[in-house]
Chains A and B, each alone.
Chain A
Amino acid sequence: MSYLELRDISKVYGEGAAEVHALQRIDLSVDTGSLVAVMGASGSGKSTLLTIAGSLEDPTSGEVYLGGRPLSSLSRNGKARLRRQSIGYVFQDYNLLAGLSAVENVSLPLELDGVAARKAQAAALESLEDFGLKDRASSYPDQLSGGERQRVAIARAVVGNRQLLLADEPSGALDSTNAEAVMRLILAACRRGMAAVVVTHDAQLASWADRVVFLRDGRVVDQTVPVDSPETVLADLPNQ
């Protein structure tokens, strides 16, 4: 069942001669429990797609549905509440608050949503433990490595009962080992029931997805077919 659905989404910036068509008639649906990667070159519209899917920006035309509900039916406050309760964001540069410890960063969205501080801290600690960061809970972002910071950012994005994870180049600043760890965590969050969209230009990241959608000049030009059996590549190898 699809949790996120983009129907006929277009986004235009500027007017007249300066008009830029960032997205043109995009249709995309992401099922609960599945990971979709959106690949494309710089300027192809990947990040715009993600901000519209996450209700951070409104489309010029078309409709975004989250859990079957059209975003255009929500007030500004309603969208803000939806973002806090249902959507987790992961960015390339982590976006952790420097003055808060790891556990405070993770518990903050819960507290902003009205969860009691003690309960929010307990949930945050549990989430950090799941990500192998229990002993780093009191550390501040500048005391963490890049890989640890991104794991804290993912813990923050999935804590609580979020249903949608949106990630923009989540491992762009990391080495390949940490990038793989980040994608394993995002995939694990999907397998536990979240829907996720990762936008990236990196094929190694995208290859963790159940489906890869290709954007070019603001349009979906292609997508991969779902992976049937991972054993296929081994079966195709010639006998030496």
Chain B
Amino acid sequence: MSVRHALLALLSDGPKYGLQLRQEFEARTGEVWPLNVGQVYTTLQRLERDGLVESDDSAVTGPQKGFHITEEGAAELAEWLRTPPDFSSPPRDELVIKVLVAFELPDVDVHEVVQVHRRYLVELMQQWTRLKEDESRFDLNFALVVDAELFRLDSLIRWLDTADGRLKRAAAGVDAPAPQPFPLPKARRKVGAPQ
């Protein structure tokens, strides 16, 4: 997560001071990602150094040092919003590696290994879903963050289910594909990225 761009986004609403930025950041992420106030000020210093924000004591009331976003900062924010995160190559996923290793080891029941991970992930999902049950604290920002986490965990369970079925069919001699080179999709150019 880019704290740098999150602060630019908050400043695009108008000038603010450090503590205020921290409070708004936590509120807008459903208080799921706590932010250290020291990190806020360090990031603001770097943004100021790069010309993306300027300190502006007249912009906020009180003794705190205020900041406003510059034109360059607004352009940087607009580009960041439209630049997809790098999903072009598969991450070195520990869960995938564990299942692949379990499949190769003769004395390990890969289905049992899959089930251990499936249960853990479902338990995590139960905890996130319990947070949804309490609708009094369930504002829109929090809902979006919780949904994102639930879909992420769900996608892992779906992969485990698919792997489980594929391994079972392979063990039964059905639907066992011959080993082939593993072609990776070509990395796509990121939308909005510099040419």
Is A17 among interface residues, defined by CB-CB distance under 8 A?
Answer: no
Minimal Cβ-Cβ distance residue in A for B39 = A240
Assembly CA distance A184 to B134 (angstroms): 11
| Interface 9-mer from B46-54, B113-121, B176-184 | B113-121
Distance in Å from the Cβ of A125 to the closest Cβ of chain B? 25
B contact patch SS = helix
Q: Find the residue from A204, A208, A214, A237 having the highest chain B CB count within 10 A.
A: A204
Among listed A68-76, A129-137, A166-174, A220-228, interface-contacting one: A220-228
Q: Tell me whether A195 is interfacial, beta carbon within 8 Å.
A: no
**Residues of chain B contacted by A230 (CB below 8 angstroms):** 127-128, 130-131, 133-134
Instruction: State whether B34 touches A227 (Cβ < 8 A).
Output: no
A204-240 interface code vs B (CB 8 A; 1 in, 0 out): 1011110010101000011111010010111001011
Q: A221 CA to B35 CA in the complex, in Å? A: 41
Interface string of B33-69 (1 = CB under 8 A from A): 1111001000000000000000000000000000000
Q: Which residues, 141 to 195 on B, are CB-close (under 8 Å) to A?
A: 149-151, 153-154, 157-158, 161, 164-165
Cβ contacts under 8 Å, B128 to chain A: 207, 230, 233
Measured CA separation A203–B149 after assembly (Å): 13
Q: Which residues of A contact B31 (CB under 8 A)?
A: 234
- Contact of B76 with A by CB under 8 A: no
User: Is B79 an interface residue when CB atoms closer than 8 A count as contact?
Assistant: no
Nearest residue in B to A225 (C-beta to C-beta)? B123
A-side contacts of B161, CB under 8 Å: 41, 201
**Distance, CA A230 to CA B118, complexed state (A):** 19
Bound: A234/B150 CA distance, A? 13
Closest chain-A Cβ to B158's Cβ sits at a distance in Å of 8
- Chain B residues, CB < 8 A from A96: none
Interface size on B, residues (CB 8 A): 37
Question: Contacts A187-B133, A201-B161, A239-B34; is A39 near B127 (CB within 8 Å)?
Answer: no
Given A221-B115, A224-B119, the answer on whether A207 and B36 have CB atoms closer than 8 Å is: no
B3, B111, B129, B131: residue with the most chain A Cβ atoms closer than 10 Å? B129
Q: Are A207 and B165 in contact (CB under 8 A)?
A: no
Asked if A207 and B125 make an inter-chain contact with CB atoms under 8 angstroms apart, the answer reads yes
- In the complex with contacts A214-B115, A240-B36, A204-B154 CB distance below 8 A: yes
Per-position 1/0 for A37-75, Cβ under 8 A of B? 001010000000000000000000000000000000000
Complex contacts, A234 vs chain B, CB 8 Å: 31-32, 131
B122, A39: Cβ atoms closer than 8 Å: yes
A39 to B, closest residue via Cβ: B122
Shortest distance from the beta carbon of B118 to any chain A beta carbon, whole Å: 7
Q: What is the CB-to-nearest-CB distance from A57 to chain B, in angstroms, rounded to a whole number?
A: 26
20 contacts between A and B (CB under 8 A): A180-B132, A201-B161, A203-B157, A204-B129, A204-B150, A204-B154, A207-B129, A207-B150, A208-B133, A216-B115, A223-B119, A230-B131, A230-B134, A232-B127, A233-B127, A233-B128, A233-B149, A239-B35, A240-B35, A240-B39
Q: Give me the interface of A with B, judged by CB distance under 8 Å.
A: 39, 41, 180, 184, 187, 201, 203-204, 206-209, 212, 214, 216, 221-225, 227, 230, 232-234, 237, 239-240
Q: A203-B158, A239-B34 are in contact. List 10 more A-B contacts (CB 8 A).
A: A180-B132, A204-B150, A208-B133, A209-B126, A214-B115, A221-B115, A223-B119, A227-B130, A237-B34, A239-B35
